[in-house]
Amino acid sequence: MPNNRNLLTRWLACAGVWIQDNPLTAQALVLAFTLALITLGPQL
């Protein structure tokens, strides 16, 4: 199994670069991610 923390860190680094290029799309993604987290949070 891969190291989830390492994978998450790498993903966040890529996302950070991408967010700087696409701020509006990033805001929509963050909103969708937050809503998904609120919805799925109790089940995790």
> Domain ranges in the chain?
4-43
- In sequence order, what are the residues at sequence separation of 6 or more whose Cβ sits closer than 8 angstroms to the Cβ of residue 18? 26
**What is the chain's length?**
44
- In sequence order, what are the residues at sequence separation of 6 or more whose Cβ sits closer than 8 angstroms to the Cβ of residue 26? 15, 18, 19
pTM of the model: 0.44
**Residue 10 to residue 18: CA distance in whole angstroms:** 12
Residues of the chain short of pLDDT 70, as ranges, are 1-2, 44
Model pLDDT, residue 32: 92
Model pLDDT, residue 8: 83
